Structure 1
Amino acid sequence: MVLKLHGFPVSTCTLRVAVVLKELNVPFEFVPVDVRNRAHKTPEYLKIQPFGQIPYIDDDGFILYESRAICRYVAAKYRNASGPVLLPDVNTDPEKYGRFEQAASIEAFNFDAYALPAATELVFKPMFGNTTDEVRAKALMESLSKSLDVYDTILSNQKYLAGDNITLADLFHLSLASVMQSKEHINLADEKRPNVARWWNNITSRPSWEAVKGGVSSST
């Protein structure tokens, strides 16, 4: 049975999973969840995802939620000789695995920790008619800017966050950073950070991202 991805077509977490599936050429069926009508908060849905969030996958009866966990699972199960090694094997190359986990932690605690609440204030609150906390948003963006300065230093010595090969850690940035970029709250292509710009232009030009960036569909 083909893997099923349950989510909302343009949600950042759904796109995070979809780009990894595309990167590894894993066939999947997209099953839209009607979050506008709170389908993700129904008793039936909560039996599957107790936090009432998206996405989750059904891989021939194996249910898994949390987008980064899903991506790790997919990269581990569906690694293939013709595709990139998005998740190094801890048993065969523990050093590469360690560098991957370091890069993944950088994304979670030095990018997402600022970018997600900033996007909530600057993008998602206005989208739903709520008021932005400008003071909080400014502080978050200042912290994010400092993190990106460090990114530029890291990327001055290597092509990707975990070294010279792309991993999940790089792909994890795509969906949320693209939302911020599209609303002109950040500019990752800014020549003031040339190494970040090179990295960003590289990962956003990958066919996997081109295939899903406009939203996931059953025909994606």
Structure 2
Amino acid sequence: MVLTLYGLAAPLGGTATVAMTLAEKGIPYTFVSVDLQHGEHKQPEFRKKQPFGLVPALDDDGFVLYESRAICRYLAEKYAAQGPTLIPTELKAKALFEQAAAVEFANFEPHARAAYNEGVLKPHFNLPVDPSALNACISKLSDNLDVYEVILGKQRFLAGDEFTLADLFHVAFGTTLAEAGCDLMTSKGPNVKRWWKEVTSRPAWLSVLNNGIKTTMCADDALSEP
């Protein structure tokens, strides 16, 4: 049975993260767009799939899973034999992967998401932007990318010399930083720039951008989980 992905019909946030993982692994799936603008994600029928009323959610022949990072890990392990190995299996390599994934979750995504919400989402809806809040999250992100620069000076990717989900998790919100007026990903340092160019040039991400589903941004986009 083909997997069904429910989510936001735009290359953003958790839905795009899962879509990129599916593309990396070459997994066929059916996409069902959830109409956030009209509150479909808050309806009882959808809450059976995602009790918090957020997107995305995955249905694998009756096995329903939510939270994008959990979905991606599930896909990477279920389809381990096809496509790139997105989660290492050797004990120490897997520990380094989990370390890198935790770094993204704690030190990158919160600031990239905040910059998107402040610098992109608010202007889209003609809401007042708080420059100090925007500058604060960009400043924090800049400090953290200084650490990335050191890490990436020693290895090709964040968990080692192989691309993993830890790198992939950065893409969906990292690519929105330019829209928020932040050029850190392309100007920070040679190692970050090299890594970012390689990660965002992967065919899987380009496929999501060029062949993925797009729709008009709505205010509830900010409520989609990371």
Normalising by structure 2, report the TM-score: 0.90
Q: Distance in 1 between matches of 2:136 and 2:106?
A: 16
Where structure 2 has 5 or more consecutive residues not aligned to the other structure, the ranges are 215-226
Q: Distance in 2 between matches of 1:132 and 1:215?
A: 32
- Residue 9 of structure 2 aligns with which residue? 9
* 1:152-202 CA distance string (max 9 Å, x none): 110000000000000000000111011112443233122x40000100110
Q: In structure 1, which of residues 153, 178, 195 is the aligned counterpart of residue 191 of structure 2?
A: 195
Q: Distance in 2 between matches of 1:182 and 1:125?
A: 12
Structure 1: 4+ residue segments shifted above 6 A: none
Name which structure has the greater RCO, CA cutoff 8 Å, separation 6+. 2
Residue pairs, 1:13-28, within 5 angstroms:
13-28=14-29
Determine if contact 1:204/1:210 at 8 Å carries over to the other structure. Answer: yes
Task: Evaluate the alpha carbon distance shift between residue 133 and residue 182 of structure 1 in structure 2; reply closer, same or farther with a 3 A threshold.
Answer: closer
- Residue 58 of structure 1 aligns with which residue? 59
Determine if contact 2:158/2:167 at 8 Å carries over to the other structure. Answer: yes
Q: Secondary structure at the match of 1:35?
A: coil
Q: In structure 1, which of residues 114, 117, 122 is the aligned counterpart of residue 114 of structure 2?
A: 117
- Residue 211 of structure 1 aligns with which residue? 207
What percent of counterpart residues are identical? 46
- Residue 217 of structure 2 aligns with which residue? none
Task: Evaluate the alpha carbon distance shift between residue 15 and residue 196 of structure 1 in structure 2; reply closer, same or farther with a 3 A threshold.
Answer: same
Q: Distance in 2 between matches of 1:215 and 1:17?
A: 15
- Residue 99 of structure 2 aligns with which residue? 102
Deviation (angstroms), 1:121? 1.1
> 103-112 or 116-125, which moves further after superposition?
116-125
> 174-183 or 99-108, which moves further after superposition?
174-183
> 126-135 or 171-180, which moves further after superposition?
126-135
Task: Evaluate the alpha carbon distance shift between residue 188 and residue 199 of structure 1 in structure 2; reply closer, same or farther with a 3 A threshold.
Answer: same
Determine if contact 1:30/1:216 at 8 Å carries over to the other structure. Answer: no
Q: Secondary structure at the match of 1:188?
A: helix
Amino acid of the structure 1 residue aligned with 2:212: V
CA-atom RMSD in angstroms = 1.5
Task: Evaluate the alpha carbon distance shift between residue 136 and residue 217 of structure 1 in structure 2; reply closer, same or farther with a 3 A threshold.
Answer: closer
Q: Secondary structure at the match of 1:119?
A: helix
Deviation (angstroms), 1:106? 0.9
Q: Secondary structure at the match of 2:85?
A: coil
Deviation (angstroms), 1:34? 0.9
Q: Secondary structure at the match of 1:163?
A: coil
Normalising by structure 1, report the TM-score: 0.92
Q: In structure 1, which of residues 130, 137, 142 is the aligned counterpart of residue 139 of structure 2?
A: 142
Q: Distance in 1 between matches of 2:74 and 2:168?
A: 15
Q: Distance in 2 between matches of 1:12 and 1:155?
A: 24
